[in-house]
Amino acid sequence: MSDQPKKIQTYEGLFILNNAGKEEGIREMIEKLEKDIQKAGGKPVKVERMDKRPFARVARKVDAGYYVNIVFEMPSQNLAAFRSKLKLDDEIFRSMFFAAGRRGTAKERSARAPAN
């Protein structure tokens, strides 16, 4: 094993939850997602629930998903394993990750952007 310290990175994760037929289970799905982040060595910092939105095209017989944005801290070497675990979870329809870093989250950057 390496004695190098783990580099903690701040990530912004956009998760689309597949809640077909389970409208009341969203809170439990989000709590499970937060626990999965913790199991992967991370720490959720901020959770933003973004409501259910329809897809432009039906994908895998799913026409809508519940969007959740989670800012979390995690050692950079743990992210790949965390992504792999999410691919096996049927409740996670899609997930995307961005390094939040010093510039803030996408929402914070758009709030600071000048209006044209």
Asked whether residue 57 is assigned to any structural domain, the reply reads no
The pLDDT value given to residue 31: 94
Count Cβ atoms below 10 Å from residue 26 Cβ, excluding itself.
Answer: 16
- The residue segments making up the domain with residue 84 are 8-50+74-98
The pLDDT value given to residue 33: 94
The pLDDT value given to residue 79: 92
pLDDT in tens, 63-107: 888 999 999 999 999 999 999 999 998 889 999 999 886 665 556
Asked whether residue 86 is assigned to any structural domain, the reply reads yes
Asked whether residue 113 is assigned to any structural domain, the reply reads no
Asked whether residue 38 is assigned to any structural domain, the reply reads yes
Number of structural domains (the chain) is: 1
Tokens at 36, concatenated: 């999965």
The pLDDT value given to residue 104: 59
Average per-residue pLDDT in the chain? 84
- The shares of helix, strand and coil residues in the chain, as percent rounded to the nearest 5, are 30, 40, 25
What DSSP assignment string belongs to 6-47?
PPEEEEEEEEEE--TT-GGGHHHHHHHHHHHHHHTT-EEEEE
Asked whether residue 107 is assigned to any structural domain, the reply reads no
The pLDDT value given to residue 75: 93
